[in-house]
Amino acid sequence: MNSSLVKIDTVLVGDANGDGFVNNSDVTAIYNYLTDSTVYPLNSFRSADTNNDGIVDFTDAVNIYNYLNGQLAGFYDL
């Protein structure tokens, strides 16, 4: 087996829209998802679930907001 072909599935916690960055657009992505999940599906549910409780709700959006404002050092350890 060629190890170079092994894909590591990494999850960037907080990156709800899956663009590789954690910023205000991810807070917006979660708010939109909570408003209408059929119109605004999350690109990465696991990344959006910042407290790892199995659901994505306003707590996760607040966590990202606090993280961006320096009030939260980080999210749970994967």
Is 46 among the residues that bind Ca ion (CB under 5 A)? no
- Interaction between residue 51 and Ca ion (CB under 5 A): yes
- Among 13, 27, 49, 64, the residue binding Ca ion under the rule CB under 5 A is 49
Residue of 78, 20, 7, 42 whose CA lies nearest to 61: 42
**Residue 41: helix, strand or coil by DSSP?**
coil
* CA 77 and chain centroid, separation: 13
Task: Tell whether residue 32 is a contact of Ca ion (CB under 5 A).
Answer: no
Q: Point out which residues bind Ca ion (CB under 5 A).
A: 15, 17, 19, 21, 26, 49, 51, 53, 60
